[in-house]
């Protein structure tokens, strides 16, 4: 490691950093991201009933790619006249849209019993979301032109919903990158109070973000793991957040060392030595944590874990290799107007706001610790009211055409018409007979067949993905059990299986993450008590943020439930990233304790790291909040929970609770290791308390 540090801060270090950035740009331009090859089961849990149904359907020779429902109503919501019905049939019969099959007969356009709506089911022969979106866009455009005045034509059904979902991500990467970079730039300017310095870390992390996207998608393609549009979006937020955090810590150390070293190369050498341990430990913890998602039964969740691990490694390399060289090459002037000079100080240890906070906590640490625990417990009360399973109709922050059309369709036709359940069976007659006896099943119709399989389209009485529809799916499966091989699929069945798969993932991944993170902390700190307490504080933060977020979601945003994936992903990122700040604090406390003892060491560590950790936490919270720019509820929920959790961890847990526990326990906090004067830590490591950010 020492050889690497000498190379990184050599006088040719600028060349090393520049070469890495040029190489990164070449990778972005010359290699590019791998192309997705979407499959029908990418987001479905492996081995579950609906997944098997989708796999069988994909092999049937007559199977169309998707289905669009065209709903026509009067603009005044009145009854359709006979002339208007005929005009609708003529307009729909004359459709000429690539990949969309027009109604073959007037009878294919049916009117509702109340006479207020006409409905046509149109096969859409597309193979992926992009081509479906193109076909639906063209269909909507032609309907707008051809449907007579006074009538309203809307497209819903599986194809319409898929198209509207694809539209959410149209240009999303550029929009997300622009907003994220702007937020990071603003917060860096506020943090450093310099018109120049912020450019260097932002440029390094920005290039790292693009390299990470290329590397991650290439790795996923090589491993054969499918990913979706949200994977690269969350990856970008993670790389910006983690990379900027690491940069903040390194720059803080470097600025402090410039006050005691004439040579900026020597200053960076010492800064890199002191920051590297915490940064490497932090990155390792995040990588280990996110890789646990590789055990998920949902392919796209596995992809997110692998992509996140690749992204954090790329961010780490760019921050520890490219950033030091560029900072050294820029010289002290990059900190203008507050240029650090040898012998200069910003705030002495005793006058630091964070030292004053620490002194206040030290007067009654038990009271402060108990107070924080009570606050976290109170916020976590919301967990008792939390519901999981967000219906399809509520997955968009703003209601698109497919959802509003589905709502209108349910007023005139059976609510389940928008997305019928699909059954594939070896015996169509027996399955049809069994299904017709199931409560909640409205109509059973034969579909495609081939290779010994038959498709049945089952219209349910209740709206797709509703609690009643899910119960009907369970009854359908029970009715088919014991007979010829049959699988129940479709949107509602997939929601049931996603719920079961998500529950399984939480039961497997969460305990594993806790064990691995705890093990990493034990190895890093060579202690048992401190790691257990640190993990416990992070878990408490997670529970509090999830409970508090539930009240925000229900009372402010009006969401009826959490998405099934939100609790697991929020837990993973909060634990992995939340441990970061504790690592930064306690590794510094261990260094300071070698000279000043455990109590004073903890206070000096808080004084030294308070500014940089708070800045990093606020920045990370803001970056994850940026997920809300995409109009999907699941991303808004994930961003909200992580944002709130990071703020709780940064401003309350790391500032008050962890120091309180360290002060109450004293030497026992580090058990079985003895931390104090004479424990073997070099004195040069703790000779001074930097001013922080």
pLDDT per residue as tens digits for the range 247-282: 988 998 888 888 888 888 888 888 888 888 778 888
3-state SS, residue 113: coil
Look at 25 and 463; give whichever has higher pLDDT: 463
pLDDT over threshold 90, residue 427: yes
- Domain of 591: which CATH number? 1.20.1640.10
Same domain, 351 and 330: no
For residue 11, pLDDT over 80 is answered with no
Check the CA dihedral 420-426-430-434 and report its sign: negative
| Residue pLDDT, tens place only, 217-236 | 999 999 999 988 888 888 99
Same domain, 528 and 647: yes
Residue ranges of alpha helices (H) inside 27-156 are 49-57, 82-93, 129-146
Residues 387 and 517 in one domain: yes
Give the integer Cα–Cα distance in Å for 688 and 676.
Answer: 16
Does 624 share its domain with 535? yes
Residue from 59, 63, 54 nearest 123 by CA: 63
Neighbours of 7 (CB within 10 A): 13
Asked whether residue 692 is domain-assigned, the answer is yes
Query: Same structural domain for residues 426 and 567?
Result: no
Domain-ending residue, one of 168, 195, 221: 168
Are 537 and 580 in contact by the 8 Å Cβ rule? The answer is no
pLDDT of residue 691: 39
Q: What is the pLDDT of residues 579-636, one digit of tens each?
A: 878 888 888 888 888 888 888 888 888 888 888 888 888 888 988 888 887 778 888 9
Looking at residue 688, its pLDDT comes to: 42
Number of domains the chain contains = 4
Q: At which residue do the structure tokens 């510094």 appear?
A: 588
Position 677 scores a pLDDT of 63
Question: Tokens at residue 554, please?
Answer: 């229900």
Is residue 505 included in any domain, yes or no?
yes
The tokens describing 70, both together, are 């065209």
Mean predicted lDDT score pLDDT of the chain:
86
For residues 396 and 433, membership in a common domain is answered with no
Distance of alpha carbon 161 from alpha carbon 157, whole angstroms: 6
Same domain, 83 and 208: no
Same domain, 228 and 338: yes
Examine the domain organization and report whether 587 and 684 are in the same domain: yes
Give pTM, 2 decimals: 0.86
- Whether residue 84 is contained in a domain is answered as yes
Residue among 565, 679, 630 at smallest CA distance from 177: 630
Helical H segments across 193-296, by residue range: 199-223, 229-257, 264-291
Q: Average pLDDT in the 287-316 region?
A: 94
Output the furthest CA–CA distance in the chain (Å, rounded). Answer: 96
Question: Range of 202's domain?
Answer: 1-32+172-344
Q: How many CB atoms within 10 Å of residue 416? A: 27
pLDDT at 682: 45
């Amino acid at each position: 490691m020492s050889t690497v540090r000498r190379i990184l801060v050599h006088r040719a270090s600028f060349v090393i950093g520049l070469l890495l950035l040029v190489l990164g740009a070449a990778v972005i331009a010359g290699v590019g991201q791998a192309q997705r090859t979407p499959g029908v089961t990418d987001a479905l849990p492996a081995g579950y009933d609906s997944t098997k149904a989708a796999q069988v359907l994909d092999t049937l020779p007559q199977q169309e790619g998707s289905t669009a429902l065209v709903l026509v109503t009067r603009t005044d919501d009145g009854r359709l006249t006979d002339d208007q019905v005929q005009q609708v049939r003529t307009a729909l019969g004359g459709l000429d849209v690539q990949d969309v099959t027009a109604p073959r007969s007037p009878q294919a356009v049916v009117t509702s019993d109340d006479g207020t709506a006409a409905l046509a089911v149109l096969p859409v022969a597309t193979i992926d979301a992009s081509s479906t979106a193109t076909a639906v866009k063209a269909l909507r455009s032609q309907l707008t032109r051809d449907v007579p005045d006074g009538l309203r034509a809307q497209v819903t059904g599986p194809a319409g919903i898929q198209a509207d979902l694809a539209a959410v991500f149209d240009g999303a990467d550029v929009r997300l990158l622009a907003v994220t970079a702007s937020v990071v730039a603003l917060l860096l300017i506020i943090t450093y109070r310099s018109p120049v310095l912020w450019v260097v870390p932002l440029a390094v992390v920005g290039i790292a973000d693009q390299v990470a996207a290329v590397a991650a998608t290439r790795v996923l393609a090589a491993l054969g793991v499918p990913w979706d549009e949200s994977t690269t979006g969350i990856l970008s937020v993670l790389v910006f957040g983690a990379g900027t955090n690491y940069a903040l810590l390194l720059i803080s150390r470097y600025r402090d060392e410039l006050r005691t070293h004439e040579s900026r190369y020597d200053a960076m050498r010492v800064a890199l030595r002191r920051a590297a341990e915490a940064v490497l430990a932090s990155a390792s913890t995040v990588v280990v944590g996110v890789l646990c998602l590789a055990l998920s039964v949902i392919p796209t969740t596995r992809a997110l874990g692998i992509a996140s691990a690749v992204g954090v490694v790329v961010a780490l390399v760019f921050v520890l290799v490219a950033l030091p060289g560029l900072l050294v090459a820029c010289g002290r002037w990059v900190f203008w107007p507050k240029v650090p000079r040898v012998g200069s100080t910003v705030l002495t240890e005793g006058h630091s706001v964070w030292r004053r906070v620490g002194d206040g906590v030290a007067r009654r640490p038990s009271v402060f610790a108990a107070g924080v625990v009570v606050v976290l417990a109170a916020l976590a009360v919301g967990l008792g009211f939390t519901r999981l399973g967000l219906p399809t109709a509520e997955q968009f922050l703003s209601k698109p055409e497919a959802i509003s059309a589905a709502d209108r369709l349910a007023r005139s036709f059976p609510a389940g018409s928008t997305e019928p359940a699909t059954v594939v069976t070896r015996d169509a007659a027996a399955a049809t007979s069994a299904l017709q006896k199931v409560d909640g099943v409205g109509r059973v119709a034969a579909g495609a067949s081939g290779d010994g399989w038959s498709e049945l389209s089952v219209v349910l009485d209740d709206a797709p993905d509703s609690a009643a529809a899910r119960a009907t799916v369970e009854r359908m499966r029970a009715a088919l059990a014991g007979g010829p091989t049959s699988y129940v699929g479709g949107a509602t069945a997939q929601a049931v299986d996603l719920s079961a798969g998500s529950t399984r993932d939480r039961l497997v991944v969460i305990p594993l993450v806790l064990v691995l993170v705890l093990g990493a902390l034990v190895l890093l700190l060579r202690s048992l008590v401190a790691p257990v307490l640190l993990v416990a504080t992070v878990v408490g933060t997670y529970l509090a943020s999830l409970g508090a977020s539930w009240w925000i979601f229900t009372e402010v945003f009006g969401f009826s439930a959490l998405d099934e994936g939100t609790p697991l992903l929020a837990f993973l990122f909060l634990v992995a990233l939340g441990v970061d700040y504790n690592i930064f604090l306690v590794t510094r406390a261990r260094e300071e304790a070698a000279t000043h003892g455990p109590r004073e060491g903890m206070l000096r560590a808080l004084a030294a790291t308070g500014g940089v950790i708070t800045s990093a936490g606020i920045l990370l919270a803001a970056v994850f909040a940026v997920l809300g720019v995409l109009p999907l509820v699941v991303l808004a929920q994930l961003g909200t929970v992580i944002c709130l959790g990071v703020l709780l961890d940064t401003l309350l847990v790391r500032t008050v609770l962890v120091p309180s526990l360290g002060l109450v326990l004293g030497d026992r906090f580090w058990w079985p290791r003895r931390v104090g004067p004479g424990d073997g830590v070099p004195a040069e490591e703790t000779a001074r308390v930097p001013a922080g950010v």
